[in-house]
A = this chain, B = another copy of it.
Amino acid sequence: MLENEKLIRLALEEDIGHGDLTTGSLIDRDRVAQAVILAKESMVLAGLHMAQQVFIALDPAMSFESVFQDGAEIDKRDEILMATGKLRALLSGERTALNFLQRLSGIATLTRQYVNEVAGSNVRLTDTRKTIPGWRRLEKYAVKVGGAYNHRFGLYDGILIKDNHIVAYGGISEAVARVRKSCPHLLRVEVEVSGLNQVKEALESGVDIIMLDNMDLNEIKRAVNVIDGRALIEVSGGITRDTLAEIANTGIDIISVGALTHSARAVDISMRVIV
């Protein structure tokens, strides 16, 4: 919460700097008005509180009305938010508020599409750490709004032995044993594997979760057979919306998709002042 506040102040400083020259010249300091924020395409809404906090940072007395909450599916031309307050605050905050809303709703919208592909299966769809530096908490929030789950937030709250670790350390079993010995008891251990041989080595190491990296459908199916419920299975890499449903039905537990954050485009939202 405190972190969001810092990012909003940073964003306003970045956009307004020493002053909004156009608005400051044209609009009287005390004039009050309304503005409506409008969906220009259908979307899943995320970040309403960020948009509101942007305006509040510029006018603490700003008030809001909305029939929607984060997570709502919104149609083109829906009124997302009505804001009433200082006209200068509305005009100077417009772009920053929209930039938050468009990015976060973009992620939630894309996530919802992926989530719908695996609906009906028991598979958990998660994000990755492929996020915009400085935005991880916000982007992972939007992923949850979209209906998916969060993977670890960083290198500090989850153990994941990746290919580079194995290359450097020299063997899955030894790596798992060593990590297990030192890691906090509240954490499970996951290992990334790229072939059936590694799947077997991982299984024997007693790891809790096995990540199948960039395997095709057949390999995944064989891995599921081999693992046979003795570890949770995560699939990652090379997944598109088209292949999602089929992969979800192989008996695996988790699919992690970097595209939810690294390839989400902004949805189209605009603001109109009412006088």
Within 8 A of B (CB), among A1-37: 1-3, 7-23, 25-27, 33, 35
* Option from B58, B102, B132, B157 in Cβ contact (under 8 Å) with A157: B157
Residue A234 interfacial (CB < 8 Å): yes
Alpha-carbon distance A41/B209, docked complex (angstroms): 30
Chain B hits for A100, CB < 8 A: 133
Contact B136 A134 (CB under 8 A): no
A187's partner among B57, B137, B158, B253 (CB-CB below 8 A) is B158
Are B99 and A132 neighbours in the complex by a CB distance under 8 Å?
A: yes
| Residues A168 and B87 in contact, CB atoms below 8 Å apart | yes
Q: List 27 A-B contacts (CB under 8 A).
A: A2-B13, A3-B13, A7-B134, A8-B133, A17-B17, A18-B140, A20-B155, A23-B155, A26-B168, A26-B169, A26-B178, A99-B262, A103-B133, A103-B262, A126-B184, A134-B134, A134-B135, A149-B182, A150-B184, A151-B185, A157-B157, A158-B184, A159-B186, A164-B271, A168-B275, A185-B254, A186-B209
B165 with A22: CB separation less than 8 A: yes
Q: Quick one: given A26-B178, A164-B271, A271-B164, are A21 and B187 in contact (CB under 8 Å)? A: yes
In the A-B complex, the 3 residue pairs with the closest CB atoms: A11-B133, A17-B156, A158-B186
The residue in chain B whose Cβ has the minimal distance to the Cβ of A188 is B186
Q: Chain B contacts of A11 at CB under 8 A?
A: 133-134
A96, A124, A179, A185: which has the most chain B beta carbons within 10 Å? Answer: A185
Q: Would you call B275 and A266 a contact (CB within 8 A)? A: no
Min CB gap A90→B, angstroms: 8
Which residue of B has the minimal Cβ distance to A96?
Answer: B133
Q: Which residues of B contact A162 (CB under 8 A)?
A: 22
A232 at the interface (CB under 8 A from B): yes
Contact with B along A106-121 (1 / 0, CB 8 A): 0000000000000000
